[in-house]
Amino acid sequence: MRFPVGILPLSAFLLAACGPSPQAEVDTTPLNGREIYATRCVSCHQADGGGIPGHCPPMVGSPILAGSSDDLIQLILLGKKGPIARNGVTYNGVMPAWRYDLNDSQIADVVNELYARWQPHRAAISPEAVQNIRQSLVGRQPFSDSLPK
C-alpha cells in the first residue's frame, strides 16, 4: 500500500491556518425577570440585593422599591447617573437606561421579580403600566433626573 504523499502538504497548510475557536451560538430566547436580574442587574445590585458600597445602594430597604411603581419603572427606563444618598451614605454610580434594551413585558417581569424578592407584599405590575410610563417619557434624555432623591 502506498502512502498518500499528496495529503501531507494539505495537512500542513491546514495546521498553519488554525485560528480562533468559533463563537458560541447566540441564544435569542427572551429573558424572564429572574434572568434579566441575573444578567443585567446583579453585577451592581448583587445576587442578595446588597449593592456595592460607594457605588450602588442596596435593594434591601430601598425607598424606591417601597415607593411608587411608576417611579421605579421610570428609574429603570431612564437610568440614573451620579450621587444619591441613602440613610446617610452616599452612592456614586451609574444605572443604565434600560428602555433601549428591554420591552414593556420584560421590564414588568423584572419589576415583579424585584417585588417578589424584596417587597413580597406588593401587587404585580402589568406591561401596560410600563407602556404608559414609557410613552410619558418620550423626548426625555437618559439619566434625566426627576426621581425622588
Partner 1 sequence: MSKPASRFSALFKALALVVIIGATIVYIANFRPADSGVWFGSHIAPARAAYPFELTDQDGNRFRLADQRGNVILLNFGFTNCPNICPTSLAHLAATCRQLPDSIRQRVRVVFVSVDERDDIAVLKKYIPLFDEKFTGLTGDKETIGNVARAYGAFYRKAESATKDDADYLIDHSTNTTLIDADGNLRLVYSIDQLSKGAEMAGDILQVFGLPRPASSPSGTRP
| Site of interaction with partner 1 (CB under 8 A) | 5-6, 8-9, 12-13, 15-16, 18-21, 23-24, 26, 38-40, 42-44, 52, 55, 79, 81-82, 92-101, 141-143
| Paired residues of 90 in beta bridges | 85
Question: Position 68: which residue type?
Answer: S
Rounded-to-integer distance, Cα 69 and Cα 121, Å = 13
Give the nearest distance from C-beta 142 to partner 1 in angstroms. Answer: 4
Distance of CA 89 to the CA centre of its chain: 24
Helix axes 69-78, 127-136, angle to 10 degrees: 60
Nearer to partner 1, 7 or 123 (CB): 7
CB of 120 to partner 1, least distance (A): 26
Nearer to partner 1, 23 or 146 (CB): 23
Residue 143 CB, shortest distance to partner 1, in Å, is: 7
Q: How far is the CB of 119 from partner 1 (least distance, A)?
A: 23
Choice between 96 and 127, CB closer to partner 1:
96
SS3 content of the chain, % helix, strand, coil (to 5): 45, 10, 45
Measured from the CB atom, the residue of 127 and 142 that comes closer to partner 1 is 142
Please give the helix or strand (H or E) that residue 117 lies within, else none.
helix 104-118
Joined grid coordinates for residue 11: 495537512
